[in-house]
Amino acid sequence: MDYLLTDEQKMIKDLAHKIAEEKIRPVAAKYDISEEYPWEVMKVLGESDMFGLFIPEEYGGFANSTMNLCLATEEFSRACGGIAVCYAASALGTIPIVLFGTDEQKKKYLPDLASGKKIAAFGITEPEAGSDASGIKTTAVKVGDHYVLNGLKHFITNGGDAETYVVIAMTDKTKGARGATAFIVEKGTPGFTFGKKEDKFGIRASSTRELIFTDCKIPAANLLAKEGMGFIVTMRTFDMSRPGVAAQALGIAQGAMELAVKYVKERIQFGKPISSFQGIQWMIADMATEIEAARGLVYSTARMLDAGVKDVSKESAMAKMYASDVAMKVSVDALQLFGGYGYMKDYPIEKYVRDAKITQIYEGTNQVQRGIIGLKVIKEMTK
Amino acid sequence: MNIIVCIKQVPETTEVRINPETNTLMREGVKSIINPFDMYAIEEAIRLKERFGGKVSIVTMGPPQADSALREAISMGADEGFLVCDRAFAGSDTWATSYTLAGAIKKIGAFDLIICGKQASDGDTAQVGPGISTHLNIPQVTYVKKVEEATDKSMRVERMLEEGFEIIQTPLPALLTVVKEINEPRIPSLKGLMKAKSAKITTLTQKELELDPQQIGLCGSPTQVVKIFTPTPRVGGQILNGEIPDIAKQLVDLIKDEVN
């Protein structure tokens, strides 16, 4: 399907494709096994201006565009969902600074994030605050011109490898959700340490660690937006970043289908390529159609965001939920098409199943997304 | 350090189709890329520029669509591109091509270094680089795998041999041809791509170069392509088993049969 991309968008997509094929695909299996952070790839992404896609030009970026971020993330994910999330998670940690940072904060943090010299991360999840973010226990207490942070964040993507963190902590527990506040915390700040690195089912190239705050003193200047705006910062950030996760899922689905189609053309059974069998063709038809439907949702949502449409919570949730469900289904079917070989780690397809699963879980589970969509639709109908 | 890199646009696929009447390449429908060996030449030039300053100029001789090869080199970090393009240059062999490129380089102006890939992936002659240096009367070092030291007056490089390498010191200006061991070509940046898109490419025709008409194009080419053919694929060999004296006897019999 032709999405009528601009020349600039085509250029970004083509460059991301080149990077994916030349620099990501050849190392995808290596990092899946070793679980090391793919610094060599992050360096290439920095040098090619890919981190600048979600940062405005005046702060060293290329342009602040969700569509650009989606196009790049989709291409990277075709080759490796794990390496792609290292990139997308840096976007997640950067977007709140782009949206809510003061000029001073932007000047201080964004140029290094745009060049890829530094990687960012976003910290909201806690052991008892996953889908229910109001359960956050990390606190921030103002003492003079500082805030003192105490608490634990877990499952933080890029945790330990990122330099710049946006962390949500409670400044006033009595106010519930309105008592949460966002802070920028730099790696190396005394009292800020990292817990164990998680051993994950998929997206193993990405690092996932706990962030531990023990009387961690950060300057009051690192307060992002205002006290009590932590959830607004989070929700606005997720609205912007969810299409990125959707694009990640979309790329995984596309990558899995491409591998499967290549395989069925080569695999000979009963004297002919299995692609000549109707049963196989129908599976491919369903995969391709569902992927295209997901792409339509993802790109449309990204374009709404770029056009400045205010409330895209429903569309954003739809794109993330649908694209990730498609990624799961398509990757499982793609493995099926590989038959017994697909189940073996010698073949690349089982990794797509493992990488796809997380997209149904993180950045709001698909159950939470359905909740957002359902409530919104009912509300719209009762106006 | 002012560096000139000579590149060639080649068909991407190895499945090149040949026009049976003219025995020349049929380029239509085949994606064109920069000759892979020339990518190392471009990368090395950009790295030297990053170390020593100066500028990198890219030269290619070819049809108008070779413009895209020049832009790709600019997207990686080269400064300017020159397209040597004229019907009068068509049909050039390696002699006429190196004569023409040498003429273009003289026109472009002062330089400290010329870098070429070791050979083009379509013709595989490895003659154009050395030819250019001969026409310009400057030293050449072929198959360079590493630049050890460089000043504005001289350069010390490692030259790859079949077994091992030799270290060569050459005065500048000189011409190097490089092998793939020398570096890993970079991925262009978005800013580079934007710059390349709007970069001005200078076209140099026979009118500007005023070359000897007897030495350019088909009539300036002492070699002619008579026929291009695909070698017949080798069939699998035969393995002889048994004790060595038996094998020797079998082998002799087989050779006799073959001769008869």
Following DSSP, what letter does each residue of B13-41 receive, concatenated? -S---EETTTTEE--TTS-EEE-HHHHHH
**B236 assigned to some structural domain:** no
Q: What is the pLDDT of residue B14?
A: 61
Distances (CA, A) of B165 to A79, B162, B215: 38, 8, 36
| Contact in structure between A301 and A312 (CB atoms under 8 Å) | yes
| Average pLDDT of the residues in B222-250 | 83
| Contact in structure between B131 and B120 (CB atoms under 8 Å) | no
Interface contact flag, B193 A15, Cβ < 8 Å = yes
Q: What is the CATH number of the domain that holds B188?
A: 3.40.50.620
B137: left (phi over 0), alpha (psi -120 to 50) or beta: left
User: Which of A78, A97, A119 delimits the end of a domain?
Assistant: A119
Same domain flag for A254 and A366: yes
**Chain A residues interacting with chain B (CB cutoff of 8 angstroms):** 11-12, 15, 18-19, 22-23, 44, 47-50, 52-53, 62
Q: How many residues belong to chain A?
A: 383
| Contact in structure between B131 and B150 (CB atoms under 8 Å) | no
**B160 assigned to some structural domain:** yes
Same domain flag for A115 and A128: no
In DSSP notation, B118-168 reads SS-TTT----HHHHHHHHHT--EEEEEEEEEEE-SSEEEEEEE-SSSEEEE
pTM comes to 0.87
Side chain identity, residue B251: L
As a whole number of angstroms, the distance between CA A257 and CA A13 comes to 19
Q: Searching chain B, which residue's CA lies closest to the CA of residue A13?
A: B190
| Average pLDDT of the residues in A45-58 | 94
Interface contact flag, B190 A52, Cβ < 8 Å = yes
Q: What is the pLDDT of residue B5?
A: 97
pLDDT at A94 over 90: yes
Same domain flag for A115 and A160: no
Phi, psi dihedrals of residue A182, rounded to the nearest 5°: -100, 140
**Mean pLDDT of all residues in chain B?**
91
Percent of chain A with pLDDT over 90: 91
| Contact in structure between A202 and A82 (CB atoms under 8 Å) | yes
Question: B189 to chain A, minimum CA–CA distance in Å?
Answer: 4
**A74 assigned to some structural domain:** yes
Q: What is the pLDDT of residue A240?
A: 86
| Average pLDDT of the residues in B232-242 | 81
Same domain flag for A338 and A220: no
**B238 assigned to some structural domain:** no
Same domain flag for A311 and A371: yes
**B111 assigned to some structural domain:** yes
Same domain flag for A102 and A205: no
Distances (CA, A) of B17 to A239, A253, B8, B64: 52, 36, 18, 20
Q: What is the pLDDT of residue B15?
A: 58
Q: What is the pLDDT of residue A133?
A: 73
pLDDT at B12 over 90: no
Q: Tokens at residue A348, please?
A: 């690349």
- Give CA angle at B198 (B193, B202), nearest 5°: 115
Q: What is the pLDDT of residue B27?
A: 65
**A2 assigned to some structural domain:** no
Q: How many domains does chain B have?
A: 1
Phi, psi dihedrals of residue A5, rounded to the nearest 5°: -70, 150
**Host domain of residue A140:** 121-229
For chain B, how many helices (H) and strands (E)? 7, 13
**B229 assigned to some structural domain:** no
Q: What is the pLDDT of residue A310?
A: 87
**B258 assigned to some structural domain:** no
Closest CA to B114 of B130, B91, B100, B95: B130
| Average pLDDT of the residues in A50-74 | 93
Q: What is the pLDDT of residue A125?
A: 93
Same domain flag for A260 and A178: no
Same domain flag for A113 and A125: no
Same domain flag for A242 and A154: no
**B260 assigned to some structural domain:** no
| Contact in structure between A165 and A121 (CB atoms under 8 Å) | yes
Same domain flag for A298 and A350: yes
Same domain flag for A258 and A137: no
Question: For residue range A308-324, what is the model confidence (pLDDT) as tens digits?
Answer: 998 899 999 999 999 99
Interface contact flag, A15 B190, Cβ < 8 Å = yes
| Average pLDDT of the residues in A263-268 | 96
| Contact in structure between A349 and A357 (CB atoms under 8 Å) | no
Q: What is the pLDDT of residue B24?
A: 67
The ipTM is 0.83
- Give CA angle at B65 (B63, B66), nearest 5°: 75
Question: For residue range A211-241, what is the model confidence (pLDDT) as tens digits?
Answer: 999 999 999 999 999 999 999 999 889 888 8
Q: What is the pLDDT of residue B190?
A: 92
pLDDT at A63 over 90: no
| Contact in structure between B80 and B202 (CB atoms under 8 Å) | yes
As a whole number of angstroms, the distance between CA A274 and CA A269 comes to 6
Question: For residue range A195-215, what is the model confidence (pLDDT) as tens digits?
Answer: 999 999 999 999 999 999 999
**Chain B residues interacting with chain A (CB cutoff of 8 angstroms):** 186-191, 193-194, 197
Q: How many domains does chain A have?
A: 3
Give the one of B186, B187, B190 whose C-beta lies nearest to A12's C-beta. B190
pLDDT at B196 over 90: yes
Question: B215 to chain A, minimum CA–CA distance in Å?
Answer: 41
3-state secondary structure of B110: coil
Same domain flag for A135 and A112: no
Question: For residue range B107-164, what is the model confidence (pLDDT) as tens digits?
Answer: 998 999 999 999 998 888 999 999 999 999 999 999 999 999 998 899 999 999 998 9
| Contact in structure between B187 and A19 (CB atoms under 8 Å) | yes
